[in-house]
Structure 1
Amino acid sequence: MLSAPVRLSFLTASLICLGALAAACSLQRWAYLPPCPLCNVQRALLAAIAVVSLIAALHAPARRGARAYALGNLGLCLLGAGSALRQLWLQAHLDPAQALDFLNAEHVFTPSTGYAAAKVYVLGTPDCGIVNWSLLGLTLPEWSLLSFCMLGALAIYPLFRR
């Protein structure tokens, strides 16, 4: 049986993910900020962490099961942090004029093959480097990185709890 503090940490992680997803969808809907491919990856990873955490909180496994759930969440958090770091790198190193030229081009980027789509969702596109919103001086990928770090800390807790 899972202890109450560990169960609460999984439930907290699930609520943090749902809050972050609600904020992202609200920004998309009311601030007209369409998500780029890396934003979509981060949203999918947040949703996966929410599902794994909710299942862990409801399942309430023994210590070994809780550690398995925590390792799964930690892996998803590392992938999300990597995606957010890639987007931050694009924002720091991409020329904004290059991104705007790409977006205003006559062609629309639609990957037709699986390899091209996977490459886009791993490496991003020039529009991933555009900074179009910030809160308290932090851009969306910085908030996303902060969320994945907090969720990673919550995932580490069950691993070291006796």
Structure 2
Amino acid sequence: MPSARLINFSVFLTCIALMLVAFYFEYVKELEPCPLCMAQRVVVVAIGLIAGLAALQNPKQWGLKVYGVTLFLVALAGIGLAARQVWLQHLPEDLVPACGPGIYYMLDVFPMQEVLTNMLMGTGDCAEVVWQDPVLQLSIPSWTLIWFSFMALVFITHLFRKPLNSAEQNN
């Protein structure tokens, strides 16, 4: 099994790659992110920062468990957000919530509490499938859900990792 440091560093690099893909879709393909997309980006950045810190710190047994639980909980939040968006995308048209203003407009005009509520609940914009991969026909939130689920499984390994020697058990 790879070291915890290598796993955390790999997750950090994966999060950078995911954000680069998100920026590619936004700035090259000109797909404006919906509120739920932005919330998922926040979770990706949070996971990346925490995993990067864990890779730098390289904690031993108890520290690794703390990072593992923290990262697992953040990944669960991402799973919830991505699952909500996938659910919205599969609603019948008459049940889709009304579209709201764009996220950047909301950040400029609305109070932060309302922006956060819209980010977490989603709007009709979040139900629109703006891109699907050509092979599996999965939308961006479907892929994000897969990535968050994979990361949650990876972080569970931190919780059950056995110490390599007796000196690590004391840390």
| C-alpha RMSD of matched pairs (Å) | 2.3
Indicate the residue corresponding to 1:52 in structure 2.
Answer: 50
Counterpart of 2:44, as a letter, is: L
The Cα of 1:4 is off from its aligned counterpart by 6.1
Indicate the residue corresponding to 2:169 in structure 1.
Answer: none
2:40 and 2:9 map into 1 onto residues whose CA distance is 20
Equivalent runs, 1:53-132 vs 2, <5 Å: 53-95=51-93, 102=99, 110=106, 112-132=110-130
The Cα of 1:14 is off from its aligned counterpart by 0.9
Check the 8 A contact 2:99/2:123 in 1, yes or no: no
Check the 8 A contact 2:4/2:58 in 1, yes or no: no
Check the 8 A contact 1:102/1:126 in 2, yes or no: yes
The number of equivalent residue pairs is: 155
2:82 counterpart SS class: helix
Indicate the residue corresponding to 2:165 in structure 1.
Answer: none
Q: Percent identity?
A: 29
2:76 and 2:139 map into 1 onto residues whose CA distance is 19
The Cα of 1:102 is off from its aligned counterpart by 4.0
The Cα of 1:64 is off from its aligned counterpart by 0.3
Indicate the residue corresponding to 1:154 in structure 2.
Answer: 154
The Cα of 1:63 is off from its aligned counterpart by 0.7
Relative to 1, partners in 2 of residues 1:58 and 1:4: Cα closer, same or farther, differing over 3 Å? farther
Indicate the residue corresponding to 2:132 in structure 1.
Answer: 134
The Cα of 1:150 is off from its aligned counterpart by 1.2
The Cα of 1:52 is off from its aligned counterpart by 0.4
1:36 and 1:115 map into 2 onto residues whose CA distance is 17
State TM-score, norm by structure 1. Answer: 0.87
1:115 and 1:60 map into 2 onto residues whose CA distance is 36
State TM-score, norm by structure 2. Answer: 0.82
1:31 and 1:151 map into 2 onto residues whose CA distance is 27
Counterpart of 1:90, as a letter, is: L
The Cα of 1:132 is off from its aligned counterpart by 1.1
Indicate the residue corresponding to 1:36 in structure 2.
Answer: 34
The Cα of 1:113 is off from its aligned counterpart by 2.9
Q: Which aligned runs of 4 or more in structure 1 are off by greater than 6 angstroms?
A: none
